[in-house]
Amino acid sequence: MDTSDKNSNLLSRAISQNGITKLLLGVFLIICICLIEYSFTHFGMIAGLAVGFAPLLLCGFYYCLKQPAYALMGMLIANYFLMYLSRMTFGKLPVGVILDGMILLNILLLLLHACVNKVSWGRAKSGLTLVAVIWTLYCILELFNPASVSTKGWISSVRSVAFDFLIIIVLTQIIVDDFKYVKQILFVWSVLTLIAVAKALVQKYIGFSQTERIWLYLYGGALTHILSTSVRYFSIYSDAANFGAGMGMAMVVFSIVGFYSKNRILSIYYIAVSLLACYGMLISGTRSALAVPFGGYAILVLMSRKPKIIILASGAMLGAFLFLNYTHIGQGNAIIRRARSAFNRNDPSLQVRIANQAKLKVLLADKPFGYGIGNGGGKAKEYAPDSPASQIATDSWFVMMWVETGIVGLILHIATLLYVILYGCYLVLFKIRSPQVKGVTLAFISGIFGIAAMSYANEVFGQIPNGLFVYMCMGLIFVAPYFDRQMSIKTIETPQ
């Protein structure tokens, strides 16, 4: 048999095999369509949608199993919309259970991935993991606090206060094993930020949806969001304070990442995202959110060694402070007027908070371990209405920590945050050499410090969705030296 006959036979077999493949694929698609149609007609819309999306879910599961970093990003995305979906269902959505389920799914995928692939478990052996374990153990011991009057409050609150913190930072340190995933996380975060800003713009220029109006006027949201002087927009977040905190952190992170990015297009994009996030922060009407950029950029000025960045950041902060505190320019604008009131030391709400803290100081005088997690502030009215601390609003993450974990817990919590920030600063100043890794790490440190500064006035630090972003940023700071070595190797392998 000559060469032409062999080639002809091979071609015929290839065409035949290709035809069989197409036939099987066609049969499979017909079966899928029939199953979807049958599910819709016999079991309803929800069953039909579940069957219809099953192939996509299986594909997603396969890719997440192959690379758990995608599952982590998926959780980041889902976490971002949980409070919006909760409002759409008027609080019937089990937000905590869903978030717990996503965390457990990430753990399961990581364990399954480890069965056939090498996993660098040692990356989680860090000082961050140690302090997180210490903090979590302290919070577990709070279950036996003699001043606590309810265990239901502990069960409800300890997840966001301790368990989520520990699990997320461990998962992040292990799963995010390549700097390319950090870039992808940043891009996903930027898209989510744009969605949040877009939703706020819809609320401002088109109006609130029917569900949002019900939440505002029937569930009491209007008391804190529809003011006589302005409207506080909340986008897809639980409330305006949470929205302002998220946008403030995004503003700080993406402006710094944009300044340090080598890619000109990405640099322009991230700076544009930060400007839009700044606008979102302002229309949230959350005055304390200004602490996020002021605190974040203060860290940038102290840590950056680039004169251009130091001058720009310092000039922006000084200009904003002088404009808001020492002038009356733009006082007719509701956004500017609301932001300017943040510098008013005689503000009535500030005086109420100071008075509440004085009352709490008396209650906590003989309770160094506090009243127990979940037994302080407004949420305690549901779980511990008999607790004296439940009658006084905390209005602050740190005051809440003080009430629920005592002065001992507050000192431990603040020490943990300071350790994260100071160790991150040490890495940026003395360890990390890659400009890209240094810039991203500095952005995370600044964002965390900004959120921590705002948390003195609002309970935003561990709230959904901001808590997951904060904890993930902490984990990424502590694995930054691994990324720095990766970038150094790539630089050696690809000389200029």
State how far the Cα of 159 lies from the Cα of 202, in Å rounded to an integer.
Answer: 33
Structure token digits, residue 378: 């407004």
- Tell me how far apart the alpha carbons of residues 96 and 166 are, in angstroms, rounded to a whole number: 16
Least Cα distance to 440 among 285, 278, 303, 245 occurs for 303
pLDDT at 10: 46
Query: Stretch 259-287: mean pLDDT, rounded?
Result: 93
Which residue did the predictor score with more confidence, 338 or 84? 84
> At residue 137, does pLDDT exceed 80?
yes
Q: Is the pLDDT of residue 470 over 50?
A: yes
Of 101-110, 215-224, 379-388, where does mean pLDDT reach its minimum? 379-388
Structure tokens at 292: 């996020």
Task: Return the bridge partners of 226, or none.
Answer: 231
| Helix (H), strand (E) at residue 334 | helix 334-340
* Domain locations along the chain: 33-66, 67-486
Residues 189, 250: contact at Cβ < 8 Å? yes
Q: What is the mean pLDDT of the chain?
A: 85
pLDDT category at 11 given cuts 50, 70, 90 is very low
- b/e map 161-180, b = 16+ CB within 10 Å: bbbbbbbbbbbbbbbbbebe
> Of 123-132, 237-246, 306-315, which gets the smallest average pLDDT?
306-315
Cα(478)–Cα(470) distance, integer angstroms: 13
Out of 210-214, 354-358, 473-477, give the one with best mean pLDDT.
Answer: 473-477
What pLDDT is stored for residue 495 in this prediction?
A: 44
Sequence-distant (6+) residues with CB within 8 A of 117 are none
Residue type present at position 269: Y
pLDDT reported for residue 320: 83
pLDDT greater at residue 54 or residue 34 = 34
Q: What percent of the chain has pLDDT over 90?
A: 45
- What is the pLDDT, as a whole number, of residue 487? 84
**Mean local confidence (pLDDT), 262-271:** 93
Lowest mean pLDDT among 164-178, 188-202, 256-270, 302-316: 302-316
**pLDDT, position 496:** 43
| Range scoring the smallest mean pLDDT among 56-70, 89-103, 364-378, 405-419 | 56-70
The number of helices, as runs of H, and strands, as runs of E, in the chain is: 21, 0
Taking 80 as the threshold, does the pLDDT of residue 29 lie above it? no
| Nearest of 483, 395, 463, 480 to residue 96 by alpha carbon | 463
Q: What integer pLDDT is reported at residue 57 of this predicted model? A: 64
- Greatest extent of the chain over all pairs of C-alpha atoms, in Å: 101
Q: Which residues contact 82 (CB under 8 A, 6 or more apart)?
A: 93, 95, 98, 99, 464, 465
Question: For residues 402 and 387, what is the distance between their CA atoms, to the nearest angstrom?
Answer: 15
Distance CA 406, CA 409 (A): 5
Residue whose entry in the numeric block shows the structure tokens 């440190």: 445
Considering only residues 61 and 463, tell me which one the structure prediction assigns the higher pLDDT.
Answer: 463
Under a CB-based contact definition with an 8 Å cutoff, are residues 70 and 104 in contact? Answer: no
Q: How far apart are CA 451 and CA 473, in angstroms?
A: 12
What's the pLDDT at 9? 56
Which segment of 30-34, 301-305, 312-316 scores lowest on mean pLDDT? 30-34
What is the residue-wise DSSP string for 214-273? Answer: HHHHTSSTHHHHB-SS-B---TTSSSHHHHHHHHHHHHHHHHHHHHH-S-HHHHHHHHHH
pLDDT of residue 153: 78
Asked if residues 115 and 471 have their Cβ atoms less than 8 Å apart, the reply is no
Structural Rg of the chain based on CA atoms = 26
Give dist(CA 459, CA 161) in Å, integer.
Answer: 11
Residue 135 contacts residue 416 (beta carbons within 8 Å) = yes
Burial 128-156 (b: 16+ CB within 10 A, else e): bbebbeebbebbeebeebebbbbbebbeb
101-115, 339-353, 360-374: segment of lowest average pLDDT: 339-353
Alpha carbons within 13 angstroms on the beta-carbon side of residue 409 total 28
- Does the global pTM surpass 0.75? yes
Structure-model confidence comparison of residues 215 and 346, the more confident one: 215
Residue 310 in tokens: 């130091």
